[in-house]
């Protein structure tokens, strides 16, 4: 089985501080990490490699520094790594990003593509599903568990209040939740091999087949109007009532807020 | 002169730091309080290859350099001195002499399980009457056909009782003095080998320090390490490497005490402001940080020397001497800056100060390091 895992290098938000005057992120000196949901996706792939055997290719689109994230993935046990980097890809929104990554994946053989649900520096949760659209393969998002059965995968999808168990034929794309596992540590020897014996293949614009109108800033229809820190919600009210009283209570509250 | 770590060394440091913070730090206080050998941590480290970092891949080691191993001991000791010395004694004293002096058969049989971490290693040189004067060995080994018979005892053996494989020194010819000392690879299960008293220590209380007792202990002839009569040289060369490990432990303890103190002085308020605002605190922290960095440079230089030079006794002795004394000084200042809280077991610096003291004593006291250093200069 061939698995492609998409990862993104992101600033460690645990270490990010906000500039008190401008309200923007202070990124200087902030360590970069593999996006947690992506790392869980990589761990899921490594577990499949351990249990049923798989060749894992990690792929990342980003600046040259993203090499470190790919080396980390190699040190955890991935087999191959590809860095998709080119000035032409810069300024991409989720659509242009997914277009570029999908074009890179089209160069590869794969049965399964795994991405994280969303990145902690953007929280859009769009790139994974968009890649599946570009590749014309089914997408199962919010995976909490992945099992392989013959030519299919059985995915436990998490909802707020329930699970769905979905069986889907490969090739397909799965977006992984950070909660699905505890990613393994690298090993010291794995790190040394990642730098001394393994390669990170670098692909630029000329290595993928893509319409330049659909990539980078030009290919990005999203316009950011404003960024702001989400205000904290007040603590909710808890009441214990029977079903009918509860319905009445909710209707009253909605009337109070002019929702009804 | 390049003082920067390579990318792989940097990434390895990140790994060791994450492991130390997530897996080791939460246990450090309890392990000290209860004098419990942290067996679960050793199992985790085994799975991750931490017990064979500077060891050849052909025997299942990680194939990294000595500096990367030093980074591991430093980062582990930064949160727990006990864990640091378990790795150091195993790697530098248990596995390294077999790597350096073992036959291919000995490496296959003993180095392989040691570097994979399947078995833990230890080193037995010190005796009640042979500490700094290692030549005063009383343990005897007599060749009897296809085996040696060992009689005697060793004391203060790190990983004693927990280790499976021991490098043991014994007199094969008392009349020849140091030239009559030989080294042996002894398995825990060999008949006539037993573990004696476990020491109750001031610091590194989770590490198992015991007596080893040999009563007509049968050691196969093929377990002689190196040649007969060459044991003293093997011991001294092994200790050169061991001192780099202990220097890294001392460095880690000093760095850990500094970490804790920086966090504390920013929080602690007296006279209406954090004590970090007082010049005394600032100057103390400046001195501590400078000494930690100077120790780090000496320790890393010794680690590089081990991989690049034939002899590195001088570098190892300087690193061990300085790092150990810095560890004692910095942890003591850390307790002082914590005030009354620092004297309680609620705060890590109390344990770190107790842990630091041993680094001035074992694997050659500070006085021995000064003898080695002056001996190679004068």
Instruction: Name the superfamily (CATH) of residues B121-230.
Output: Butyryl-CoA Dehydrogenase, subunit A, domain 2 (2.40.110.10)
Report the pLDDT value the prediction gives residue A211, as an integer from 0 to 100: 94
In contact, B118 and B59? CB cutoff 8 Å: no
Is the pLDDT at B63 greater than 70, yes or no?
yes
Model pLDDT for residues B254-313, shown as the tens digit of each residue: 999 999 999 999 999 999 999 999 999 999 999 999 999 999 999 999 999 999 998 999
Which position has the token pair 């299919």? A152
State whether B61 and A194 contact (CB < 8 Å).
Answer: no
Residue A23 lies in a domain: yes
Q: Which residues of B are catalytic?
A: 363
Q: What distance in Å separates the CA atoms of residue B281 and residue B242, rounded to the nearest whole number?
A: 35
Q: What's the Cα-to-Cα distance from B183 to each of A105, A108, B240, B326, rounded to whole Å?
A: 58, 57, 16, 33
Bridge partner residues of A147 (DSSP): A154
User: CA A101, CA A94: separation in Å to the nearest integer?
Assistant: 10
Record: contact B11-A72, CB cut-off 8 A: yes
Residue A14's pLDDT is 75
Across B168-181, average pLDDT: 94
Average pLDDT, chain A: 92
Nearest-neighbour CA in chain B from A17: distance (Å) = 17
Which has the closest alpha carbon to A141: A153, A127, A157, A162? A157
Please check whether residue B250 touches A, CB under 8 A: no
Identify from B7, B12, B24, B68 which residue to disrupt to test chain A contact, counting A C-beta atoms within 10 A and taking the largest count.
B12
User: What whole-number distance in Å separates Cα of residue A184 and Cα of residue A200?
Assistant: 21
Distance, in Å, from the CA atom of B372 to the CA atom of B312, rounded to the nearest integer, reads: 11
Chain A nearest-CA distance from B22, in A, is 11
Q: What pLDDT, on the 0 to 100 scale, is given for residue A236?
A: 76
Nearest CA in chain A to B68: A188
> Could you give the angle at the alpha carbon of B150 between the alpha carbons of B144 and B153, nearest 5°?
170
Question: Mean per-residue pLDDT for A42-58?
Answer: 97
Average pLDDT over every residue of B222-227: 98
Looking at every residue in chain B, the average pLDDT score rounds to 97
Q: How far is CA B58 from CA B55, B107, B222, B226, in A?
A: 9, 10, 22, 21
Are the beta carbons of B50 and B87 closer than 8 angstroms? yes
| CB interface of B with A, residues 39-78, below 8 Å | 48-50, 53, 57, 61-64, 68, 72
- Cα-atom radius of gyration of chain B, to the nearest Å? 21
CB contact under 8 A, A189 and B49: yes
User: What is the Cα–Cα distance from B140 to B150, expressed in whole angstroms?
Assistant: 6
Other Cβ atoms less than 10 A from the Cβ of B72: the count is 34
A23 pLDDT band (50/70/90 cuts)? Answer: low
Nearest alpha-carbon partner for B322 in B347, B300, B291, B353? B291
What is the distance between the alpha carbons of residues A31 and A9, in angstroms, rounded to a whole number? 10
Helices (H), A78-226: 94-105, 127-135, 188-196
- What pLDDT score does B134 carry? 80
How close, in Å, is residue A167 to chain B by CA atoms? 34
Give domain limits for chain B: 7-115, 121-230, 233-377
Which chain A residues are within 8 Å of B61, Cβ to Cβ?
189
- Look at the alpha carbons of B148, B106, B227, B177 in this order and tell me if their dihedral is positive or negative: negative
Whole-number Å distance between alpha carbons of A80 and B240: 40
Query: What is the biggest distance separating any 2 CA atoms in chain B, rounded to whole angstroms?
Result: 79
ipTM: 0.94
- Kindly tell me if the per-residue pLDDT of A234 is higher than 90: no
Confidence of residue A10 (pLDDT cuts 50, 70, 90): very high
Nearest chain B residue to A186 by CA distance is B15
Query: What pLDDT, on the 0 to 100 scale, is given for residue B75?
Result: 98
> Residue A24 above 80 pLDDT?
no
Q: Is residue A224 part of a domain?
A: no
Tokens of A210: 């893509």
Name the residue in chain B with its Cα closest to that of A188. B12
Whether A237 contacts A256, CB under 8 Å: no
A56: β partners: A3
* pLDDT tens sequence across B74-118: 999 999 999 999 999 999 999 999 999 999 999 999 999 999 999
Q: What is the mean pLDDT of residues B192-213?
A: 97
pLDDT at A18: 72
Decide if pLDDT at A230 tops 70: no
Q: Which residues of B touch A195 (CB under 8 A)?
A: 6-8, 11
User: Nearest to residue A221, comparing CAs of A97, A95, A91, A62?
Assistant: A95
**Which alpha helices (H) appear in A139-242, and where do they start and end?**
188-196
Give a yes or no: residue A232 inside a domain.
no
Using a CB-CB distance cutoff of 8 angstroms, which residues of chain A are in contact with residue B12? 188, 191-192
Q: What is the mean pLDDT of residues B324-342?
A: 98
Q: Which helix (H) or strand (E) holds B148?
A: strand B147-158
Q: For residue A29, what pLDDT is reported?
A: 76
Q: How far apart are CA A243 and CA A191, in angstroms?
A: 58
Q: Which domain CATH number covers A116?
A: 3.40.50.620
Query: Is the CB of residue B317 less than 8 Å from the CB of residue B246?
Result: no
- Tens digit of each residue's pLDDT (9 = 90 or more) over A82-117: 999 999 999 899 999 999 999 999 999 999 999 999
CA–CA separation, B64 vs A105, rounded Å?
34
Measured distance CA(B14)–CA(B191) in Å, rounded: 44
The dihedral formed by the CA atoms of A96, A99, A103 and A108, expressed in degrees to the nearest 10: 120
A145 backbone dihedrals φ, ψ, rounded to 5° = -160, 140
Q: Is residue A254 situated within a structural domain?
A: no
Q: Is the pLDDT of residue B340 over 80?
A: yes
Query: How far does the CA of residue B299 sit from the closest CA of chain A (Å)?
Result: 20
Bridge partners of B143?
B148
- Among chain A residues, CA nearest to B46: A187
Among the ranges given (A10-24, A155-169, B54-68), the one the predictor scored with the smallest mean pLDDT? A10-24
Shortest alpha-carbon distance between residue A172 and chain B (Å)? 32
Residue from A12, A189, A198 whose CB has the most chain B CBs within 10 Å, to mutate:
A189
pLDDT at site A260? 82
Task: Please determine, for residue A225, whether its predicted confidence score (pLDDT) is greater than 90.
Answer: no
**Partner residues linked to B124 by β-bridges:** B168
Cα distance between residue A211 and residue B69, in whole Å: 49
Tell me whether residues B62 and A187 touch, CB distance under 8 A: yes
Question: What residues of B are in contact with residue A75 (Cβ under 8 Å)?
Answer: 11
Query: Which CATH architecture describes the domain B233-377?
Result: Up-down Bundle (1.20)
Q: What is the mean pLDDT of residues A164-186?
A: 96
Strand intervals (E) in A21-119:
25-26, 32-34, 55-61, 80-84, 112-116
Task: Tally the domains of chain A.
Answer: 1
**How big, in percent rounded to 5, are the helix, strand and coil portions of chain A?**
35, 25, 40
Q: The domain containing residue A131 runs over which residues?
A: 2-214
- Distance, CA of B14 to CA of A113 (rounded, Å): 28
**Tokens 């997530």 label which residue?**
B22
Rounded to the nearest 5°, which phi and psi values hold at A164? Answer: -115, 140
Q: What is the CATH number of domain B7-115?
A: 1.10.540.10
Output Rg (C-alpha) for chain A, integer angstroms: 21
């Amino acid at each position: 089985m061939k698995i492609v895992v998409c990862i993104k290098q992101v600033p460690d938000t645990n270490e990010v501080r906000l500039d008190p005057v401008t309200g923007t992120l202070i990124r200087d000196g902030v360590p970069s990490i593999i996006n947690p949901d992506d790392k869980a996706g990589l761990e899921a792939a490594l577990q499949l490699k351990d249990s049923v055997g798989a060749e894992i290719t990690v792929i990342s689109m980003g600046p040259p520094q993203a090499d470190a994230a790919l080396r980390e993935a190699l040190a955890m046990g991935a087999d191959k790594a590809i860095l998709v980097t080119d000035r032409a890809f810069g300024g991409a929104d989720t659509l242009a990003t997914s277009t570029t990554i999908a074009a890179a994946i089209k160069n590869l053989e794969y049965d399964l593509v795994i991405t994280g649900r969303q990145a902690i520096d953007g929280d859009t949760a769009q790139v994974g599903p968009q890649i599946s659209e570009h590749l014309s393969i089914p997408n199962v998002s919010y995976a909490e568990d992945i099992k392989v059965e013959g030519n299919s995968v059985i995915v436990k999808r998490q909802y707020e209040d329930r699970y769905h168990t979905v069986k889907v034929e490969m090739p397909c794309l799965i977006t992984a939740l950070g909660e699905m596992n505890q990613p393994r540590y690298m090993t010291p020897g794995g790190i040394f091999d990642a730098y001394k014996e393994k390669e990170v293949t670098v692909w630029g614009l000329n290595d993928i087949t893509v319409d330049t109108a659909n990539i980078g800033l030009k290919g990005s229809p999203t316009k950011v109007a404003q960024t702001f820190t989400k205000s904290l919600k007040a603590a909710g009210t808890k009441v214990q009532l029977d079903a009918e009283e509860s319905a009445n209570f909710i209707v009253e509250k909605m009337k109070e807020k002019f929702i009804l | 002169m390049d003082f920067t770590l390579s990318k792989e060394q940097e990434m390895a440091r990140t790994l060791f730091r994450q492991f130390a913070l997530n897996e080791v730090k939460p246990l450090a206080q309890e392990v000290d309080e209860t004098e419990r050998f942290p067996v679960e941590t050793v199992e985790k480290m085994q799975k991750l290859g931490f017990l064979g970092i500077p060891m050849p891949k052909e025997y299942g080691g990680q194939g990294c350099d000595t500096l990367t191993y030093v980074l591991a001991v430093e980062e582990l000791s930064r949160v727990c001195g006990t864990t640091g010395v378990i790795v150091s004694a195993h790697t530098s004293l248990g596995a390294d002499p077999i790597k350096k002096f073992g036959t291919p058969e000995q490496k296959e049989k003993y180095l392989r399980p040691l570097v994979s971490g399947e078995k833990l290693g230890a080193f037995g040189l010190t005796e009640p009457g042979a500490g700094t004067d290692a030549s005063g060995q009383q343990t005897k080994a007599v060749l009897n056909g296809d085996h040696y018979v060992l009689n005697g005892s060793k004391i203060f053996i790190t990983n004693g009782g927990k280790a499976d494989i021991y490098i043991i020194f014994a007199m094969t010819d008392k009349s020849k003095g140091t030239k009559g000392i030989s080294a042996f690879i002894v398995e825990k299960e060999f008949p006539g080998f037993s573990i004696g008293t476990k020491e109750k220590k001031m610091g590194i209380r989770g590490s198992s320090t015991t007596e080893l007792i040999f009563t007509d202990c049968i050691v196969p002839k093929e377990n002689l390490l190196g040649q007969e009569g060459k044991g003293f040289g093997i011991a001294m060369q092994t200790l050169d490497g061991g001192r780099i490990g202990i220097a890294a432990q001392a460095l880690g303890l000093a760095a850990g005490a500094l970490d804790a103190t920086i966090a504390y002085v920013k929080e602690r308020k007296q006279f209406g402001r954090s004590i970090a605002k007082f010049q005394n605190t600032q100057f103390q922290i400046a001195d501590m940080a400078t000494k930690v960095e100077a120790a780090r440079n000496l320790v890393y230089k010794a680690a590089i020397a081990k991989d690049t030079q034939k002899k590195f006794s001088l570098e190892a002795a300087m690193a061990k001497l300085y790092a150990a004394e810095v560890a004692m000084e910095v942890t003591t200042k850390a307790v002082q800056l914590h005030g009354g809280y620092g004297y309680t077991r609620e705060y890590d610096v109390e344990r770190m100060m107790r842990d630091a003291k041993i680094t001035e004593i074992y694997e050659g006291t500070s006085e021995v390091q000064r003898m080695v250093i002056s001996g190679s200069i004068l």
